[in-house]
């Protein structure tokens, strides 16, 4: 029942998204501005480097297109903004959010990859006796619904033939989950990025990370309508992404320093966390398989009402 209620609530959000998109999305036949989502957490180095260096701004300057940013961290809010025409490019959106949007018939297309980072998604507790999924039965576990962390919890429980219904799963953002763990109101916190690193440094018990359980895919997405109407914009965007990747490779220390300043971390912490990330943009067969596993998980968890062939996203 719990998973079905979650699915119904998330479906309702996306249904409103689709309706909003039908009536208010801007005409993409001409552009004087281009809005990208700007999300820095958990460790979105490409976004931080791009904005600091003004790479998108320079890429579209000759076309007279102003680059704008929308700081939207919620995946559901991101896909709603895309459908409504408030943003044109979701620059770092989770696979779960893309799948949920597509499953509710919204127009969305995966342009390429942003990152993969299964080891950056973690499950922490104060209780060092928790060493298996069975030890989580009945525990209060906090984390964001419909995300890579939600999938991590479900995948970990599934290794012992358990489901999210076997625990008390509470929907919380990452900062709130961390605070709940520290304050004792939750037994386990689902954390990623800087929050996970800080929790590790504080000496909390790592139950598991996502390695071998989830792909933790983050993508870059647009609408099919935008993709088809603006091939020249898509081409310049992809060239700009190549420039970002080049900067990160050839100015690694500078990129780490940018991220440390943006995320209020020390450079050594950023360097250590960055080892867990693959920022290559190419869509691989493994990425598509990861998308499909996530879609299947979401269907089985009642987060989407129908099965989805993820090949329709690419």
Q: What is the 3-state secondary structure (H, E, C) of 56-98?
A: HHHHHHHHCCEEEEECCCCHHHHHHHHHHCCCCEEEEEEHHHH
Q: Is the pLDDT of residue 159 over 60?
A: yes
Picking from 179, 209, 239, the residue at the C-terminal end of a domain is 209
pLDDT for residue 298: 86
**What's the average model confidence in pLDDT over 201-214?**
96
The whole domain housing 291 covers 2-117+216-313
Please report the pLDDT score of residue 231 as a whole number.
97
Same-domain status, 103 and 175 = no
Predicted pLDDT at 240: 98
The two three-digit tokens of residue 183, written as one number: 């304050």
DSSP reduced 3-state for 203: coil
Cis peptide before 42 (omega within 30 of 0): yes
pTM strictly above 0.85: no
pLDDT at 181: 98
**Has residue 285 got a pLDDT over 90?**
yes
3-state SS, residue 262 = helix
pLDDT for the residue numbered 121: 94
Same domain, 89 and 110: yes
| Predicted confidence (pLDDT) at residue 168 exceeds the cutoff of 70 | yes
Q: Are residues 10 and 108 in the same domain?
A: yes
Residue 16: per-residue pLDDT: 44
Is the torsion defined by CA of 109, 241, 218, 81 positive or negative? negative
For residues 204 and 221, state if they share a domain. Answer: no
Q: Are residues 94 and 7 in the same domain?
A: yes
What's the mean pLDDT in 93-116? Answer: 95
Domain count within the chain? 2
Residue scoring higher pLDDT (28 or 113): 113
The confidence band for 74, taking pLDDT boundaries of 50, 70 and 90, is: confident
Give the model's pLDDT for residue 114.
98
Picking from 67, 80, 72, the residue whose alpha carbon sits closest to that of residue 37 is 72
Mean pLDDT (whole number) for 189-215 = 94
Residue 272 and residue 123 share a domain: no
One domain, residues 302 and 231: yes
Q: Tell me how far apart the alpha carbons of residues 163 and 158 are, in angstroms, rounded to a whole number.
A: 6
Q: Are residues 93 and 203 in the same domain?
A: no
- The domain that holds 172 is classified in CATH as 3.40.190.10
Residues 106 and 65 in one domain: yes
**CB neighbours of residue 80 within 10 Å:** 23
Distance CA 294, CA 152 (A): 10
The answer to which of 118-132, 141-155, 156-170, 203-217 has the lowest mean pLDDT is 141-155
Final residue before a domain boundary, out of 157, 184, 209: 209
Residues in the chain, overall count? 314
- Examine the domain organization and report whether 99 and 246 are in the same domain: yes
Residue at which a domain ends, from 194, 209, 224: 209
- What is residue 18's predicted lDDT score, i.e. its pLDDT? 44
Q: Sorting pLDDT into bands at 50, 70 and 90, what band is 300?
A: confident
123 in the same domain as 113: no
Residues 155 and 81 in one domain: no
Burial of 123 (0-12, 13-18, 19+ CB in 10 A): buried
Tell whether the model's pLDDT for residue 5 goes beyond 60.
Answer: no
């Amino acid at each position: 029942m719990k998973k079905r209620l979650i699915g119904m609530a998330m479906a309702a959000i996306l249904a409103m998204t689709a309706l909003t998109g039908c009536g208010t999305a801007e005409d993409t036949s001409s552009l004087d501005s281009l809005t990208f989502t700007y999300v820095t957490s958990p460790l979105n180095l490409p976004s931080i480097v791009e904005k600091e260096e003004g790479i998108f701004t320079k890429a579209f300057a000759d076309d007279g297109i102003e680059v704008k940013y929308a700081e939207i961290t919620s995946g559901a809010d991101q896909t709603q903004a895309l459908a409504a025409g408030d943003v044109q490019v979701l620059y770092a959106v989770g696979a779960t959010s893309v799948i949920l949007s597509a499953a509710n018939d919204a127009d969305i297309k995966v342009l390429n990859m942003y990152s993969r980072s299964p080891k950056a998604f973690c499950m922490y507790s104060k209780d060092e006796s928790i060493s298996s999924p069975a030890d989580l039965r009945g525990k209060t576990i906090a984390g964001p619904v419909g995300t890579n962390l939600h999938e991590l919890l479900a995948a970990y429980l599934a290794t012992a033939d358990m489901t999210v219904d076997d625990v008390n799963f509470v929907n919380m953002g990452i900062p709130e989950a961390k605070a709940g763990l520290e304050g004792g109101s939750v037994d386990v916190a689902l954390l990623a990025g800087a929050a996970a690193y800080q929790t590790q440094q504080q000496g909390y018990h790592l139950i598991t990370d996502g390695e071998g359980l989830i792909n933790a895919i983050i993508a870059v997405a647009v609408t099919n309508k935008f993709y088809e109407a603006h091939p020249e914009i898509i081409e310049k965007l992809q060239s700009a992404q190549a420039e970002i990747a080049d900067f990160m490779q050839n100015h690694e220390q500078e990129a780490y320093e940018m991220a440390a300043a943006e995320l209020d971390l020390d450079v050594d912490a950023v360097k250590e966390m960055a080892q867990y990330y693959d920022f290559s943009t190419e869509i691989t067969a493994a990425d598509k398989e990861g998308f499909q596993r996530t879609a299947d998980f979401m269907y089985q968890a009642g987060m989407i009402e129908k099965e989805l062939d993820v090949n329709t996203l690419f």
